[in-house]
Amino acid sequence: MAESLGVAVLGAGHMGADHVRRLDRVISGARVAAVADPDGERAAAAVRGIDGCAVFTDAEAALAAPGVDAVLIASPGPAHEAALTAAFSRGLPVLCEKPLASDSAAGLRLVDAECRVGRRLAQIGFMRRYDSEYRELKALLDSGRLGRPLMLHCTHRNVSSPPGFTSAMLVSSSVSHEIDATRWLLGQEITAVSVLRPRPSGGAPEGLKDPQLVLFETAEGVVVDVEIFVNSGFGYQVRCEAVCEAGSARVGDGHTMVVQSAGRAHEEVAQDYLVRFRDAYDREVREWVDATRAGRVTGPSTWDGYAASAVAEAGERALESGERVAVELAPRPELYA
Amino acid sequence: MAESLGVAVLGAGHMGADHVRRLDRVISGARVAAVADPDGERAAAAVRGIDGCAVFTDAEAALAAPGVDAVLIASPGPAHEAALTAAFSRGLPVLCEKPLASDSAAGLRLVDAECRVGRRLAQIGFMRRYDSEYRELKALLDSGRLGRPLMLHCTHRNVSSPPGFTSAMLVSSSVSHEIDATRWLLGQEITAVSVLRPRPSGGAPEGLKDPQLVLFETAEGVVVDVEIFVNSGFGYQVRCEAVCEAGSARVGDGHTMVVQSAGRAHEEVAQDYLVRFRDAYDREVREWVDATRAGRVTGPSTWDGYAASAVAEAGERALESGERVAVELAPRPELYA
Amino acid sequence: MAESLGVAVLGAGHMGADHVRRLDRVISGARVAAVADPDGERAAAAVRGIDGCAVFTDAEAALAAPGVDAVLIASPGPAHEAALTAAFSRGLPVLCEKPLASDSAAGLRLVDAECRVGRRLAQIGFMRRYDSEYRELKALLDSGRLGRPLMLHCTHRNVSSPPGFTSAMLVSSSVSHEIDATRWLLGQEITAVSVLRPRPSGGAPEGLKDPQLVLFETAEGVVVDVEIFVNSGFGYQVRCEAVCEAGSARVGDGHTMVVQSAGRAHEEVAQDYLVRFRDAYDREVREWVDATRAGRVTGPSTWDGYAASAVAEAGERALESGERVAVELAPRPELYA
Amino acid sequence: MAESLGVAVLGAGHMGADHVRRLDRVISGARVAAVADPDGERAAAAVRGIDGCAVFTDAEAALAAPGVDAVLIASPGPAHEAALTAAFSRGLPVLCEKPLASDSAAGLRLVDAECRVGRRLAQIGFMRRYDSEYRELKALLDSGRLGRPLMLHCTHRNVSSPPGFTSAMLVSSSVSHEIDATRWLLGQEITAVSVLRPRPSGGAPEGLKDPQLVLFETAEGVVVDVEIFVNSGFGYQVRCEAVCEAGSARVGDGHTMVVQSAGRAHEEVAQDYLVRFRDAYDREVREWVDATRAGRVTGPSTWDGYAASAVAEAGERALESGERVAVELAPRPELYA
């Protein structure tokens, strides 16, 4: 594959700093070429230890920096329109954290701007589409095996809301994930919205209408209910059940997708160890690379390899003889203490 | 962080080729510097499209190639001793797929060789230690919250065994994962092994003693039972239940770890979206980087961002008014068709 | 306890015949004294084999039969008002299958009639209140451990609807169970109802608006959503999740009640074998009584008792010796073949 | 059906008194005709409120009492042989709590005695055979759908052991249930037993070897492992997983039976409300009969029936209109306060 991708990251707050770490340490084929934040010290802190990364307080300056091939926007929502416009004018591909912009009017201006460029440049950060459970659900719905979808039942719970969170933000900020997930899972636009407001929880800040039941209707008549409860006190929980003509499927309940059809509730089981342990293999090699670059050796040792084979050999003798076989190990060297 | 790590991969079979892909495409901070396989064409195929990667039929030649900082051994087990010995003599850090070597005698020679070097160089590929479920179980046992472990109940099932798989290999190859997991989870050596042989399944090849019940006893008196069933016909399933003085905990059953204590069976729930969706964020950025480097734009579009904000605004009005609010979208541009 | 209760059963259809069997064979302390059905042959068939049970085609005549202490109404809904009125005028206690009457006006007339009697005589057949899962949920809500309830999410699915089932009957007949369950679980009246109609399933009969999403608001501001789907094709499934200020609890998902609070999803575990196996003990004795009255002996035999003790004795020797102990059984007599 | 069955209950301890209550209050078609206990006061207390029941301190005298058609033995194990022998000599059918007798020699004498009678008279109280989960598992195994059984994995946990419980009793008393369940589920005799003893739990009384891993081999080569842990401190938990040639099935985990085969883990879902709510119907009618005999009326009232129909009618209007419809209830009479 070609040269690594030089990315300018705009915004060095919680989310921006996490993306800097991700681009630098987790994702192969990318490097952080520039970081911009109005708070220059915050920007500098985020890139500490990254060679050849320029730091800016001005977003547009970062886009113009040498080696910048693409932009990741993690600045606050109100800054998105200017940043996207600048990226579009330079023809730079963008990954833009949600929301797209401050409101739908600004969003429509950005749609126009990108259309004038004439090709897609922006990917919006609705990350539910990348969650493995949601992908599995989407694949099942697309397969048609359960017939057409009729309803979605969604739950979206947070432990507690941050300071300044308003009743409207339950819909505009929290439920925006379910808005995108609904449009994506169903491949349909949402045509109407209703909101029911139960009495507020005693655990919510005074005056906050929390929880709410948000209802969507879609172009093809699917009805979607969303429980949004941002002060559940319980945990972060995101669930979705799709009810279809020939069965239903549910994700987000702490286990693999449950499909209900024809009198059975079932879960699929991996058929292969590379599937079941894919993440473990990635993590194994990542930790090895990280440790090795840092001059350390960790993980299972040569001693562990020896001990495993000594036990296995005792096991083979036990299998043959039908008897209990004692395991004799050599003395353990200091090196593996 | 320093220069990327140049890795020589020995063996370009199923596992080796997967590791080449992983080092090249998934793991940041590493590059494939050399690949060796007695079958030179297989080696060449594995590195197609990777710039600056040398190909060899001889393992030792690969270790000597320029830019090689470390070695990943994915060749067949009988080749491991020579490869590890060569890496040790060059002082190269190694990640070696299991098994360590052909038998425990060879394993002990490697232990001696590494001790002569005087520092650890090798990490053995027991990848259960990197599985998130097993890690969670290990952390719980180490916390002491459940008291001392008394028993482990393990299940290890494959769909079917490959050609040439023998009764002894159920123990030496398959159960070697449980051998390492037992030693690692408990921090104790295994002191005795017994094997019970039920009548073989009609689904197993003629003559194969499958399944088996393998029993371990450990230095501190823990009893471990392992069902190994390599022709279960069912799926790839790896489970482990640790029975302790004050409760038990179970992983591998298709849901998050279940802990039983004091009259309750419970599962922990994530408290934070960065924890719950960590993998989704990684995948989102990885797919964006990959697509961008390939000159493509995929994923949620500017239109999706606009539509989400238009729906959210309708939702806010519905919340305020208590009424159903219709959503009006601008016409959808061709670009997002 | 006193004399057994003589019951007149009105209606000998599916439900009525099942209640006749239940009173005769399952419930101690009761006997079927009379059965009435306009179809006299159906009534006669229902009581075949029951000694001393009179058969009628007229309901009121059955109430007047000798030995009738109470009435169980299982006739069609339109017949309920007359039957209840007759029972009230005789001062007979009644168990009346749902619905109470044809409509709420008739219901109110019955309320008045019972008030004129001056004491409660009727128990209505909302049997969710007797389901062990619903009872457990009710007890949890009443305990206040989860704080005040804010929402209920309900699912009610049937495989398919009977002939003649109308869109309105999804609400009036099927959802009436959730209406009662809501009022009972929450101890509040329902103050408003809304219904959302997704596009009908292709699996529903032409013209039937199935499924529907029915929404209740209660006197203290709880919001309840009910998925009613009578042609799910999947199964009979009744679920209820109560969302409260300090956690949520769910029943009906094929396992014991799941309570979510403070970062954990948990299930209670029985502490005692009499609790865990209560139903088994009842069934054991019931089958023994039934078999014995019929002159048969079934179930575990003396031979099974002997074999169990022979194995247990081998087990005790194995425990002492640490060795495998073979079990020697006496020859099995013909009687237990 | 014929006359009710007059039962003599021997032993009025915990178990005996529970059986007296069961025969009197739960099981139709039976009546307690006599109770015997060496402690006459205990016997008298158990039958308080039961008309026409004779009380004895001598078991044989109870068997000879008028109206005794059958015997339920719930006295201590050492008394069983004499009681069974007396019942056999009188030709009385017996339900005998486990164990059959003090040891297998006594058991064999009873086998001989029953053979001399020439027909089966005794049913032994292995109540796992009457548990609905175990029955479901047995039916699945018998169906052959999963092929031949190869292994059983069993767990048997108690919160804590009673005073005087010995290491041998873990096998002879607790595991006797798994001994019978193994023989019954598999339809095979057990041919050998081994016991592994992990280090004892710190939660077990000094000197008690708890937990243990008990291993059975059967006549057709099935291997069975049983974790017996009588001081688990956790709860009463009984699980069984049957591993077969074409899949496995598991009961006892707090949800309906899970069957694993062909890459899926699935649970069956009820198809019918009479199946799903069978126990609720029984309980409903039982509570009605009990309350009515006691001169009380409980459960859902006429008011509840009226309120349900008023809400349903609002729902029907909401369905038609597509609007939210307020519910108007008449004032609630005092009678239903």
Q: At what angle do helices A40-47 and A14-21 cross, to 10 degrees?
A: 30
What confidence tens digit (pLDDT) does each residue in D140-151 have? 999 999 999 999
- Is C166 found in the same domain as C116? no
Q: Per the domain annotation, does C92 fall within a domain?
A: yes
Residue B297: name the closest of A91, A75, A85 by CA: A91
Which residue of D122, D293, D309 is in closest CB contact with C104?
Answer: D309
Distance from CA of A58 to the nearest CA of B (A): 23
- Is A166 found in the same domain as A95? no
Q: Per the domain annotation, does A273 fall within a domain?
A: no
pLDDT value of position C1:
39
Within 8 A of D228 by CB-CB distance, chain B residues are: none
Collect the ranges in chain D with pLDDT lower than 70. 1-2
Q: Which of residues 4-23 of A touch B (CB under 8 A)?
A: 4-5, 7, 18-19, 22-23
- How far is residue D84's CA from residue A7's CA, in Å, rounded to a whole number? 86
- Is B149 found in the same domain as B36? no
Record: contact A233-C220, CB cut-off 8 A: no
Q: Per the domain annotation, does C110 fall within a domain?
A: yes
Whole-complex ipTM: 0.90
- How far is residue D264's CA from residue A171's CA, in Å, rounded to a whole number? 38
Q: Which of A155, A196, A210 to mutate to test the interface with C (most CBs of C within 10 A)?
A: A196
CATH number of the CATH domain containing C100: 3.40.50.720
- Is B236 found in the same domain as B286? no
Q: How many residue pairs from chains A and D have C-beta atoms closer than 8 A?
A: 25
CB A215 within 8 A of CB A196: yes
Q: Which domain holds residue C120?
A: 5-125
Q: Which of residues 144-163 of B touch D (CB under 8 A)?
A: 147-148, 150-151, 153, 155, 159
* Kind and range of the H or E run holding A91: none
Distance from CA of B60 to the nearest CA of A (A): 20
Cis before residue B331, ω within 30 degrees of 0? no
Query: Is A82 at the interface with chain B, CB within 8 A?
Result: no
Q: Per the domain annotation, does D273 fall within a domain?
A: no
Q: Which of residues 109-138 of A touch B (CB under 8 A)?
A: 110-111, 114-115, 118-132
CATH number of the CATH domain containing D146: 3.30.360.10
- Is B166 found in the same domain as B264? yes
Record: contact D223-B196, CB cut-off 8 A: yes
| Number of compact structural domains in chain C | 3
- How far is residue B329's CA from residue A16's CA, in Å, rounded to a whole number? 31
Which residue of B123, B159, B335 is in closest CB contact with A115?
Answer: B335
CB A216 within 8 A of CB A128: no
pLDDT value of position C277:
81
DSSP annotation of D41 reads: H
The pair of structure tokens assigned to A41 is: 């010290």
Domain boundary among A108, A125, A142: A125
To which residue do tokens 């067949």 refer? B76
Q: Per the domain annotation, does B174 fall within a domain?
A: yes
Query: Is D269 at the interface with chain A, CB within 8 A?
Result: yes
Q: What is the mean pLDDT of residues C169-198?
A: 94
Within 8 A of B145 by CB-CB distance, chain C residues are: none
B271 band by pLDDT with thresholds 50, 70 and 90: confident
- Is B200 found in the same domain as B309? no
To which residue do tokens 């608001």 refer? C217
- Is D196 found in the same domain as D100? no
pLDDT value of position B148:
96
To which residue do tokens 């494939």 refer? B32
Tens of pLDDT along chain A (337 residues) come to 347 899 999 999 999 999 999 999 899 989 999 999 999 999 999 999 898 899 999 999 999 999 999 999 999 999 999 999 999 999 999 999 999 999 999 999 999 999 999 999 999 999 899 998 999 999 999 999 999 999 999 999 999 999 999 999 999 999 999 999 999 999 999 999 999 999 999 999 999 999 999 999 999 999 999 999 999 998 999 999 999 999 999 999 888 888 888 888 888 888 888 778 888 888 888 888 888 988 888 889 899 989 988 998 998 999 899 888 999 999 999 999 8
pLDDT value of position D221:
96
- How far is residue D148's CA from residue D245's CA, in Å, rounded to a whole number? 6
- Is C188 found in the same domain as C168? yes
Q: How many residue pairs from chains B and D have C-beta atoms closer than 8 A?
A: 118
Distance from CA of B173 to the nearest CA of C (A): 27
- Is B88 found in the same domain as B25? yes
pLDDT value of position A1:
39
Q: Going along chain A, which residue ranges are E strands?
A: 5-10, 30-36, 54-56, 70-73, 94-97, 122-125, 149-157, 190-196, 212-218, 223-229, 237-244, 247-251, 258-261, 264-268, 325-326
- Is C88 found in the same domain as C18? yes
- How far is residue B63's CA from residue B84's CA, in Å, rounded to a whole number? 11
Query: Is A107 at the interface with chain B, CB within 8 A?
Result: yes
Q: Per the domain annotation, does D203 fall within a domain?
A: yes
Q: Going along chain B, which residue ranges are E strands?
A: 5-10, 30-36, 54-56, 70-73, 94-97, 122-125, 149-157, 190-196, 212-218, 223-229, 237-244, 247-251, 258-261, 264-268, 325-326
- pLDDT surpasses 80 at B1: no
- pLDDT surpasses 80 at C250: yes
Query: Is A188 at the interface with chain C, CB within 8 A?
Result: no
Q: What is the pTM of this model?
A: 0.92
- Is B156 found in the same domain as B246? yes
Q: Which of A154, A190, A288, A320 to mutate to test the interface with B (most CBs of B within 10 A)?
A: A288
Comparing B72-81, B228-237, B289-298, D194-203, the range with the smallest average pLDDT is: B289-298
Q: Per the domain annotation, does C273 fall within a domain?
A: no
Query: Is A243 at the interface with chain B, CB within 8 A?
Result: no
Within 8 A of B319 by CB-CB distance, chain A residues are: 167-168, 170-171, 195, 197, 209, 212
To which residue do tokens 């052959």 refer? D144
Domain boundary among A90, A125, A160: A125
Record: contact A267-D266, CB cut-off 8 A: yes
Neighbours of chain A (3+ CB pairs under 8 A): B, C, D
Record: contact D300-C234, CB cut-off 8 A: no
Domain boundary among B68, B94, B125: B125
What confidence tens digit (pLDDT) does each residue in C100-117 have? 999 999 999 999 999 999
Distance from CA of D235 to the nearest CA of B (A): 5
Record: contact A198-C227, CB cut-off 8 A: no
Within 8 A of A220 by CB-CB distance, chain C residues are: 199
- Is D191 found in the same domain as D158? yes
- How far is residue D334's CA from residue C112's CA, in Å, rounded to a whole number? 11
Record: contact D245-B202, CB cut-off 8 A: yes
Q: Per the domain annotation, does B229 fall within a domain?
A: yes
Query: Is B45 at the interface with chain A, CB within 8 A?
Result: no
pLDDT value of position A149:
97
What confidence tens digit (pLDDT) does each residue in B104-125 have? 999 999 999 999 999 999 999 9
B65 burial type by CB count under 10 A (0-12 exposed, 13-18 middle, 19+ buried): middle
SS3 B312: helix
pLDDT value of position D331:
93
What confidence tens digit (pLDDT) does each residue in D248-264 have? 999 998 888 888 888 88
Distance from CA of D212 to the nearest CA of A (A): 17
- pLDDT surpasses 90 at B54: yes
Q: Which of B215, B269, B276 to mutate to test the interface with C (most CBs of C within 10 A)?
A: B269
Q: At what angle do helices B278-293 and A132-143 cross, to 10 degrees?
A: 70
Q: Which of D193, D216, D278, D296 to mutate to test the interface with C (most CBs of C within 10 A)?
A: D193
Distance from CA of C249 to the nearest CA of B (A): 13
Q: What are phi and psi of C75, to 5 degrees?
A: -80, 170
